[in-house]
Structure formats: structure tokens, C-alpha cells
């Protein structure tokens, strides 16, 4: 007889944190406009990169359209379809290098967008961290 919560017994798995899932998305403040998706480089326009960054900061959560408009354009009045245009720009750039990720941003009609990744699959590197990273992580000078 196995003890509840133990690893003994047929079909039992250890309890605890889920196994580490690989890094899917990396955004580096040193290189706005450039992302790594499944370790493959992609390039997006500055506004599309800003949208991806904002979604990545809350990966797995729905971000309301109003919040996205405010972050991207502030008080500037833009056409309603601009947000969809920027989203499609991100998805197109990603699909070029990682076609299996072409649906990485989900749309919730009349609500907002969500980056369909867990926070553990996203890494946002602030510019000051890079200074202290090992030479192999820093890239060319």
C-alpha cells in the first residue's frame, strides 16, 4: 500500500512544482525590435515589439484593449484597427521563424489579448543585467 502523496505505486508521480518547461520567448531591452522565439531570432517593428513586451510582462493573462491602447499610444487618437494591425505584425514575424507559434497571441473579443505562454516560458532581460552576464551571453560588442 502506498502512502498518499508518495511516489510509490503504479502510475504515481511525485508531487511538487511542475517540471521546467523550456524558454519560448526572450525579449532583451538592449535590442528592441529583436526577439528570440524558440531560440530563433525574429525582428518586429518598434510598436509591435512594445505590444509583445507588454503582453510578455503578463504572460498567460488577458490584457484589456484599453490598457494596450494606453501603453502603445497614450492620449494619441488612433484608428481602432491599429491594435489588430500591431498584433498581426508580431504574429507574422514570429510565424516566419517559428510557424508552430503563429497563434501565440490569443484574442478575446471585446476584452483583450493574451500571450499564450506561462510566465516561466518568457524571459525579459533588462539592459543592466546584460552588463554582468557571462561573455557568451552578451553577444558581439
CB-CB contact of 41 with 48 (8 Å) = no
The model's pLDDT over 61-81, given as tens digits with 9 standing for 90+, comes to 999 999 999 999 998 989 989
Rounded Cα distance between 22 and 30, Å, is: 22
Rounded Cα distance between 41 and 96, Å, is: 10
Fold designation for 25-122: Arc Repressor Mutant, subunit A (1.10.10)
User: Tell me, what's the pLDDT at 128?
Assistant: 56
Mean pLDDT of 25-45: 91
Rounded Cα distance between 113 and 88, Å, is: 12
Q: Does the pLDDT value for residue 1 go beyond 60?
A: no
Instruction: Tell me the pTM.
Output: 0.74
Q: Locate the domains of the chain by residue range.
A: 25-122
- Of the candidate ranges 11-25, 45-59, 92-106, the one whose mean pLDDT is the lowest: 11-25
CB-CB contact of 123 with 27 (8 Å) = yes
User: Which triple of cell numbers denotes residue 22?
Assistant: 523550456
Residue 23's pLDDT band, with cuts at 50, 70 and 90, is: confident
Amino acid at each position: 500500500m502506498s502512502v498518499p502523496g508518495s511516489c510509490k505505486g503504479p502510475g504515481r508521480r511525485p508531487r511538487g512544482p511542475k517540471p521546467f518547461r523550456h524558454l519560448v520567448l526572450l525579449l532583451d531591452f538592449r535590442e528592441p525590435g529583436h526577439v528570440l522565439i524558440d531560440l530563433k531570432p525574429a525582428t518586429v517593428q518598434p510598436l509591435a515589439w512594445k505590444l509583445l513586451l507588454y503582453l510578455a510582462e503578463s504572460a498567460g493573462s488577458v490584457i484589456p484593449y484599453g490598457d494596450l491602447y494606453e501603453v502603445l499610444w497614450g492620449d494619441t487618437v488612433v484608428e481602432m484597427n491599429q491594435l489588430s494591425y500591431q498584433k498581426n505584425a508580431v504574429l507574422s514575424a514570429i510565424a516566419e521563424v517559428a510557424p508552430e507559434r503563429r497563434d501565440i497571441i490569443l484574442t478575446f473579443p471585446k476584452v483583450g489579448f493574451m500571450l499564450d505562454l506561462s510566465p516561466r516560458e518568457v524571459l525579459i532581460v533588462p539592459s543592466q543585467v546584460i552588463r554582468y552576464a557571462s561573455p557568451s551571453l552578451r553577444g558581439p560588442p
